[in-house]
């Protein structure tokens, strides 16, 4: 029997107080491996947000019509459909971004944060609060991925905002910052991701001590 999961106290909690990677330690795999640059972190975060909003909207709308036990399944069905469609849409429109994200785009569906959201519908959740919660969780997740991507890109290859053309923004490539050093390879390798996440966690714990575990 899986213990019941408590709802976050407020829709806005996952933005910071219950942030997925920094507080609940969810969504770690994409955070660690899919974020070697600002562009990748941002793209992965935004795509996850879209999936979460779609899934929460569907579960929030139809959840009241079905048995509580079926609500998580409904949420997952919506999430899987959204991820599959987004994967094809990105492949068709932003072909190079699809190549850069690789396996981490379809893996959005296995995000721990997403799965926890699915279970939270078993106790019923109003549509408005569910969509708002999805937005806040997604924005909090995107922010962490982007910051982590920025740190790794800066240290790892001495650039910032490289690859903006992957997002279809060729005109914005003047934003790319190139520092006069080639970078330390370790920041781009998996150990660099662990270091980066560890530093962010430490900073987060300093700013709000005693709240590292999932909120009650």
Partner 1 sequence: MAARDGRVLGTVIVGAVALAAAVAAMNTTYRWSRDRVAAHERAAIVARLDSVLDPALRSRDVTTARLTLDGDPLLGGAAPLDAFVMDDGRGPVATVLTVVAPLGYNGPIQLLVGISPQGVVTGIRAVRHRETAGLGDAIDAGKSDWMLQFDARALVAPEPDRWAVRQDEGDFDAIAGATVTSRAVVSAVKNALLYFERERDALYAAAAAESEEDDDPTD
Question: What are residue 178's DSSP bridge partners?
Answer: 159
Contact between 65 and partner 1 by CB under 8 A: the answer reads yes
Per-residue burial over 104-115, b if 16 or more Cβ lie within 10 Å, else e, is bbebbbebbbbb
Residue count, binding to partner 1 (CB under 8 A) = 23
Task: Tell me whether residue 76 or residue 139 sits nearer to partner 1 (CB atom).
Answer: 76
In which element (H, E) is residue 119 found?
helix 112-120
In which element (H, E) is residue 153 found?
helix 127-157
Of the candidate residues 7, 70, 127, 167, the single one contacting partner 1 (CB under 8 A): 70
Q: How far is CA 43 from CA 30, 36, 102, in A?
A: 11, 12, 12
Contact between 212 and partner 1 by CB under 8 A: the answer reads no
Per-residue contact string for residues 187-206; x = within reach of partner 1 by CB under 8 A = -xx-----------------
Contact between 211 and partner 1 by CB under 8 A: the answer reads no
Task: Tell me whether residue 14 or residue 60 sits nearer to partner 1 (CB atom).
Answer: 60
Contact between 67 and partner 1 by CB under 8 A: the answer reads yes
d(CA 183, CA 85): 36
Q: Does residue 57 sit in helix, strand or coil?
A: helix
Chain residues that interact with partner 1, rule: CB under 8 A? 58, 62, 65-67, 70, 73-74, 77-78, 80-81, 84-85, 88-89, 91-93, 95, 185, 188-189
């Amino acid at each position: 029997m899986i213990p019941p999961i408590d709802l976050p106290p407020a829709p806005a909690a996952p933005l910071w107080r219950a942030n997925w990677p920094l507080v609940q330690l969810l969504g770690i795999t994409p955070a660690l491996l899919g974020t070697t640059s600002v562009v990748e972190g941002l793209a992965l975060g935004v795509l996850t947000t879209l999936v979460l909003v779609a899934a929460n909207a569907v579960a929030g709308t139809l959840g009241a019509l079905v048995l509580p036990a079926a609500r998580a399944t409904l949420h997952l069905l919506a999430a899987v459909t959204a991820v599959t469609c987004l994967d094809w849409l990105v492949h068709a429109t932003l072909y190079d971004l699809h190549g850069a994200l690789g396996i981490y785009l379809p893996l959005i569906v296995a995000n721990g944060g997403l799965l926890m959201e699915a279970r939270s519908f078993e106790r019923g959740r109003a549509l408005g609060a569910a969509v708002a919660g999805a937005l806040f969780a997604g924005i909090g997740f995107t922010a962490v991925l982007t910051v982590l991507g920025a740190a790794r890109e800066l240290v790892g290859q001495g650039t910032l905002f490289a690859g903006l053309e992957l997002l279809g923004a060729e005109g914005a490539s003047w934003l790319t910052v190139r520092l006069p050093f080639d970078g330390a390879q370790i920041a781009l390798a998996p150990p660099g991701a662990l270091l980066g996440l560890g530093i962010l966690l430490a900073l987060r714990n300093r700013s709000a001590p005693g709240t590292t575990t999932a909120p009650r």
